[in-house]
Structure 1
Amino acid sequence: MSVSEGKKTMKEKFMAEIKKVAQQATKMTPEELKFSYKGILYPSLLCSEATFQAMEKLDAREDDVLIVTYPKCGTNWTIKILHEMLFEIHNKEPTLDQAMLEFGKPEKYEYLNQQPSPRVMSSHITYENIPKTFFEKKTKMLIILRNPKDTAVSYYHFSNNNPVLPSYESWDLFFKDYITGNVIYGSYFDFTLQWEKHIDDGNILVLTFEDMKADLPKELKKICDFYGLALTDEQIKLVQEKTTFSSMKQNSTKSHGNLGNVFFRKGEVGDWKSLFTEEQSKEVDAQFEKYLAGTKLGNMINYEKYCTF
C-alpha cells in the first residue's frame, strides 16, 4: 500500500467513526449524552472513565505539542496551524483520529506511544487533569483563550448542531448552564483560572483567538519561536493561507465530513451581541470581575475591548 493510499484509508476510517458516533447519538437523551468524572461533565460517546484512567499513564515526550483550550476557543484552528507547520518542516501528515487527548478508547494510548515525534495533541481538560508526565517532561503547551461571551454563543450553536452534545431549546437555557458551569467541560472561569496559576512555569505560551484574528502572521511567528520551528517567511505565509477561517471552512467537508459547518460556523469576534441580553452581559461581567479581573490571563483577554456593548 502506498503512503497516499494509507493516508486515504486512515481518513476514511476516521470519517466512518464520526458517522457511527453521530448515529448513536440520535438514539440518546440529552442526559445520556453526558457523564461526570471528578465533578466535570464530559460527552459520554467520546470520553469514558476507563479512558481517563488510562490517559493518566500516557508517556509524554519533551517534543510533544499539546494544545489546550476551553471548547470553542480555536481548538481546530490551532491544531490545523501546528499540523501545517510540521508538514512544512518534517513533511509529517496529521494523525486525525488521535488529536483530542481524552477522546476514544483506552487502547488509543498504546497507538499514541508508537507514533513518531513530534506528536500534535489537544485537549479541553483542566490543568489538574493533564497527565503528570507532561509536566515531568516539561512538554511545551499552547493555551488559546477567547473572550467568555463569544465563547458562550459559539458553544451554544455548537451544542445544538453537534449530535454528540446535549442540545438546548433556547439560548436562555444554555446560558443558565454556561454561567453556572453546568455544561460539558465545566466552567469557563474555573478552567481559565487554573491555568492562570501556572502561566509562568516556562513551558506555556498563551495566545488569544482575538489576536489571531487581528494579526495571524504575528501570532504564527510566536508559535514558531515557542516550539523552535525554523519556518521561513515564505513557509509562514503558506501556513497562513491554509489556516484562515475562510480557507478552513471551505475545506471543512474534507476535514470533518458532514460536521464541517458545525466546527467552522462563523469564527467572528463580537458575535455575542446577537444573543446576549443586557442582564446576561452583566452576569458574565460579574463572573469575570470575580475570577479573572486583574490577572495576567484576564488582561490578555482584553475584556473591556471585546465584552462591552
Structure 2
Amino acid sequence: MTERTCFTYKGIPLPTMGYSEESLSYMENEFQLLDDDVVTVSYPKSGTNWMLEILGLIWHDGDPSWVQSVLMSDRSPWIETASGLNVALNYPPPRFLTTHLPFQLFPKSFLHSKCKIIYVMRNPKDVLVSHYHFAKFFQPLEEPGTMEEFVEKFLNGNVIYGSWFDHVKGWMKMKNRPNIFFISYEELHQDLRGSVKRICYFLGKELDSHQLDEVVKYASFQIMKDNKMSNFSQIPEEYMNHKKGKFMRKGICGDWKNHLTVAQSEHFDHVYQEKMQGVGVTFPWD
C-alpha cells in the first residue's frame, strides 16, 4: 500500500481521504448508538448500497421518492468518515447508519444498545473482483496492479478495512445477539421478495403485498443504476474518475469466474479453507 492513499488505524488500513484518527477515535469510544438506530454493516463491495436502497424503500412503504431525492450518503451516513459522522450526529432519529468497520473498531456503545444491525456478506471471490474494478477508478485507493498481485493483497488483508476473513469472523461471533441480522448478497439475489419480508420482520415493520412489490421493483439493479442519488454518479471527480468506470457495474453473482484463473481460484480456496476453519457456519457460496 502506498503512503499516499492509506494510513493504519489500530492495524486496519484506511484511506487518508475523508478519514481521520480523531473522528475514528470519537466514533469508537464516544459515539452513542441509539436504540432505534438501524446500522448496515459489511465488508466493502458486499452489497452495502443495495441494502441501503432496500432499507430506504422499506421505511417509506415502497414509495421511491425519498431514495430518489436524497443522496445515499445523507440517508445512511458512513460513521467512520469525518463527514458521515457529522451527518449522523445531526440526524433526527430513527437513524439509518452505515459502516464497513470490523467489530473491534465499532462503537463501544453498541454493547449497551438495542440498535439493530444488518450484516451483509458476499462470496469473497466476488468481493475481490468487485474491489479490483472499484480500485481502478476510486481515487482514494491505490491502483490495484495485476489481478495476480491483487489476489495476494486481498488474501493477506493488505486492502482497505483489512482482512475479509477477520471481518466476517469478528462479526459472526455476535450471531447469537437478537439485534443482529445476517444476510448474504446471494440470498438477496435468489429471493429478493422473501429477503425483504425477512428484513421487515427483523425491523418490526409491516408491509402489505403491494408495498412489498414496490420495494422489490425499485431495489432492482436496473432502477438503482439509473437512480442518481444511489449510483455514485454525483460523487466529485476528486474521489471518483467517472471516465474509468461505473460504481454499479454488473450486480451479479459468480462474476469471479470471468476474472480468476483456475490456479488463482484454487489458491483462494486453499487459503479460505484454512482461515475459515472452525467458523461453524455454512455460507451460500460454500
Normalising by the smaller structure, the TM-score range is 0.7 to 0.9
Return the offset for 1:300.
2.4
Alignment match of 1:274 (pick from 248, 255, 258): 258
| Distance verdict in 2 for CA 1:136–1:282, change over 3 Å | same
Structure 2: which 5+ residue stretches go unaligned?
Answer: 235-239
Aligned to 1:101: 79
Return the offset for 1:190.
0.7
Query: What is the rounded CA distance, in whole Å, between the counterparts of 1:256 and 1:155 in structure 2?
Result: 15
Query: Aligned pair 1:216/2:182, yes or no?
Result: no
Contact residue 193 and residue 291 of structure 1 kept, 8 A: no
Aligned to 2:237: none
Alignment match of 1:242 (pick from 218, 235, 251): 218
Aligned to 1:9: none
Return the offset for 1:87.
2.1
Q: Which moved more, 1:174-183 or 1:131-140?
A: 131-140
Aligned to 2:118: 142
Aligned to 2:4: 32
Contact residue 189 and residue 287 of structure 1 kept, 8 A: no
Return the offset for 1:96.
3.7
Q: Which amino acid aligns with 1:223?
A: I
Structure 1: which 5+ residue stretches go unaligned?
Answer: 1-28, 304-309
Alignment match of 1:80 (pick from 26, 36, 53): 53
Query: Aligned pair 1:186/2:159, yes or no?
Result: no
Q: Which amino acid aligns with 2:283?
A: M
Return the offset for 1:113.
3.2
Greater helix content: 1
Secondary structure of the residue that 1:265 maps to in structure 2?
Answer: coil
> Could you say which structure has the greater relative contact order, defined with CA pairs below 8 angstroms and 6 or more residues apart?
2
Secondary structure of the residue that 1:226 maps to in structure 2?
Answer: helix
Query: What is the rounded CA distance, in whole Å, between the counterparts of 1:147 and 1:194 in structure 2?
Result: 17
| Distance verdict in 2 for CA 1:138–1:296, change over 3 Å | farther
Alignment match of 1:291 (pick from 270, 275, 278): 275
| Distance verdict in 2 for CA 1:275–1:111, change over 3 Å | closer
Contact residue 205 and residue 226 of structure 1 kept, 8 A: yes
Alignment match of 1:50 (pick from 6, 22, 29): 22
Secondary structure of the residue that 1:257 maps to in structure 2?
Answer: coil
Aligned to 1:66: 39
1:101-131 deviations in Å (ceiling 9; x for gaps):
11124xx646523322211111110011110
Contact residue 67 and residue 122 of structure 1 kept, 8 A: yes
Aligned-residue RMSD, C-alpha: 2.3
Identity %: 32
1:128-162 deviations in Å (ceiling 9; x for gaps):
11101122112111011101111110110011121
Query: What is the rounded CA distance, in whole Å, between the counterparts of 2:66 and 2:224 in structure 1?
Result: 19
Contact residue 196 and residue 296 of structure 1 kept, 8 A: no
Q: Which amino acid aligns with 2:204?
A: G
Return the offset for 1:166.
1.2
Aligned to 2:285: 302
Q: Which moved more, 1:191-200 or 1:167-176?
A: 167-176
Query: What is the rounded CA distance, in whole Å, between the counterparts of 1:296 and 1:244 in structure 2?
Result: 32
Q: Which amino acid aligns with 1:59?
A: Q
Return the offset for 1:278.
2.0
